[in-house]
Structure 1
């Protein structure tokens, strides 16, 4: 059985309570509602952040908090809001007509768009030329000042507001105001929409995804013979790192051949690890830990075969391009958007990593001595001996350094491994 969906309900306390009370009966699929009530619309973004990543969809009480959260960039899940136009606005106009102080043809309205206002007035057979509109979200004080200024200038006879805080402030000032409240039908429709959005999002996030990782250093033959055990140890280190990263995403890793690996995961886990398919997965970690550049292709599909086929297509596309754009392909075979960006400092990935490392070491060499070990190289590069050892192995694989026979000493432990740097290749 599919687990219940989780929908976060964001809005003022009274409206959130109203949505919660009618929620389960209105939703088309089993769902769990989580309340995120606030006192002021400006808290909407913070409330969404506190809901966390376990929410399948967000439902806002009106367009105002939705727009605030959207502009803050915190909506990482599908979201919708309860409509306050149509029947809700018509009910507010009818209520304003009962108030002797208000002429509904000369009022000010917030949050709703001019099109929604004109449509409601047309349906009621009323003119809307003297109805003032402010659809921009803002603080309670700013919106209240908009209405108050128009009323005191005589341009408006009252305010129709979607913001409860504005209604309270204007009423306290003795100004005529009517709150626009959602109808029960609008709440049911919004809950239905939120549930469908959440269900679609969950299905999409669980979509099968295959990641192909290739290492050019292991794929291409080195220019000079290098001890095979260096390459074997590099493969083991790379496999170990990929397994560690894959475990964090609840995915699996298999080596395909001497230079490539296959990772099977869900779309949601890969999207989280790649900033929404903008950053190559695993690339930054492998570069920082092992000093290697990798080529990556991500593919999705209805079956493992389809996903792997799309991943190979994406890999070929990224190999033939000058940058990483288009490294991910959806199950229809289309490149995902937005276009991804390379991880920081990876713009020069086409340049062999070893050349950069060799140049940095050569600049620190003293007295023409070109022999180093992991400890001395680490001090020159400002890294740990362990990282320096991996970088030196990269130099060996790229033909930029030679491993010298280990020094045999009577002391216990592994003998110190020395490398001769081939600095002459920097001038070629």
Structure 2
């Protein structure tokens, strides 16, 4: 069947495309074949509904997919071949995979009754489908089987049950190829859709206090810009600073989706938090033009700034929030317990000489915790706006430079 598809592909495809063969001995291998192909294909065409359904249930279809239809002319041809077999009465047979409505329609076209035709639409394991046909045959309810699964046909033949495989016609193969090529072309166009990402840093948006040196903000902006450029180069995107606290990243839907696990994770946020100790707000927008994409990105950013949604930071080109289904069942959210004020209070009580600058080591000694735990607590203070990360000290010694934080103890008096 795969060979037939490959031979017909170049003449049947409506757009230029490259066909990749993925033959298998058993339909159960279909999901593994799709996984191995990975993102190297734009659309999948399955030889029948059975491998398509198995791959769909396995959750490996991340691209458009379709299958060769076995109803219509393919089913009529199988019924005709069954009528030529002296052992089979086509009015008393069992049929798998093909939908009941398609079966009734084919029998009406042939002017045959279908009241004694038994069907099973579910594409289950080969053993289960084989048992369905054998049981009806042993009971004397049917005289043979019409099967869409080659493995079932082989087992029925070995068991002495008359079986006729349902094979797709050349027209069905051409139609399926046409559909798959169009799905792939549309998928490529959608992946190339213009996408804008707005990144804002709340820490840089806050007004500058007299006690805060300006140089650390300037160096922090440079460090953040450098990090965003590195991330953008990795996904073939571009970066522009738009004001003193925001940046604009322009790419394609495909490149941004790859960096966000299919719009499930905010882009750049984890690395910015780990390396600079900053919390960022992100909005992603798509559109037919750059202006439309940026407008949608600002709308998504306003939604995330409200702090009410952990997902939905991306908006499609129609202006609808893009919230992909979670990979795992969601768990009830634990009640929020602010810890920043408590940690800041404990640190402020042990500060000496009015110095409000600490690092992980000194903070760990004040809190009686390890430097690793202190570093995590200091990042919590940054996320809650209770501390500012200062530019890392540049030292000739190898290793990570010491990260300093300025505690905003003024907020304890509010």
What interval of TM-score do these two structures reach, taking the shorter chain for normalisation? 0.7 to 0.9
Find the aligned partners of 1:422 and 1:192 in 2 and give their Cα distance: 64
Would you say the 8 A contact 1:246–1:263 is kept in 2? yes
Aligned to 1:252: 238
Aligned to 2:372: 383
Find the aligned partners of 2:68 and 2:39 in 1 and give their Cα distance: 22
Q: How do 1:167-246 residues align onto structure 2 when only pairs under 5 Å count?
A: 167-221=153-207, 225-246=211-232
Would you say the 8 A contact 2:28–2:54 is kept in 1? yes
Residue 276 (1) aligns with residue 269 (2): no
Would you say the 8 A contact 2:348–2:409 is kept in 1? no
Question: Secondary structure at 2:39's aligned position in 1?
Answer: coil
TM score, norm. by length of structure 1: 0.82
Q: How many angstroms does 1:224 deviate by?
A: 6.5
Q: Is the alpha carbon distance of 1:183 and 1:169 closer, same or farther for their aligned partners in structure 2, counting shifts above 3 Å? A: same
Q: Is the alpha carbon distance of 1:413 and 1:141 closer, same or farther for their aligned partners in structure 2, counting shifts above 3 Å? A: closer
Find the aligned partners of 1:242 and 1:402 in 2 and give their Cα distance: 18
Aligned to 1:328: 314
Aligned to 1:301: 287
Aligned to 2:272: 286
Q: Which runs of 5+ in 1 are unaligned?
A: 1-14
Find the aligned partners of 1:374 and 1:19 in 2 and give their Cα distance: 63
Residue 24 (1) aligns with residue 5 (2): no
Aligned to 2:68: 82
Residue 38 (1) aligns with residue 27 (2): no
Question: Secondary structure at 2:19's aligned position in 1?
Answer: strand
Q: Is the alpha carbon distance of 1:95 and 1:416 closer, same or farther for their aligned partners in structure 2, counting shifts above 3 Å? A: closer
Would you say the 8 A contact 2:388–2:405 is kept in 1? yes
Aligned to 1:319: 305
Find the aligned partners of 1:305 and 1:238 in 2 and give their Cα distance: 25
Q: Is the alpha carbon distance of 1:125 and 1:313 closer, same or farther for their aligned partners in structure 2, counting shifts above 3 Å? A: same
TM score, norm. by length of structure 2: 0.84
1:165-191 C-alpha deviation (Å, 9 max, x unpaired): 010111111110000000000000000
Question: Secondary structure at 1:33's aligned position in 2?
Answer: coil
Find the aligned partners of 1:123 and 1:336 in 2 and give their Cα distance: 45
Number of equivalent positions: 398
Aligned to 2:84: 98
Q: Is the alpha carbon distance of 1:232 and 1:181 closer, same or farther for their aligned partners in structure 2, counting shifts above 3 Å? A: same
1:285-326 C-alpha deviation (Å, 9 max, x unpaired): 323333322222212222222222222232233334621444
Find the aligned partners of 1:412 and 1:185 in 2 and give their Cα distance: 72
Residue 124 (1) aligns with residue 110 (2): yes
1:261-296 C-alpha deviation (Å, 9 max, x unpaired): 000100111122223323322233323333322222
1:14-66 C-alpha deviation (Å, 9 max, x unpaired): x1011111111111111111011111111111100111102011000001110
Find the aligned partners of 2:382 and 2:97 in 1 and give their Cα distance: 60
Aligned to 2:56: 70
Find the aligned partners of 1:187 and 1:262 in 2 and give their Cα distance: 46
Find the aligned partners of 1:392 and 1:29 in 2 and give their Cα distance: 53
Find the aligned partners of 1:321 and 1:420 in 2 and give their Cα distance: 25
Aligned to 1:267: 253
Find the aligned partners of 2:325 and 2:167 in 1 and give their Cα distance: 41
Find the aligned partners of 2:311 and 2:396 in 1 and give their Cα distance: 51
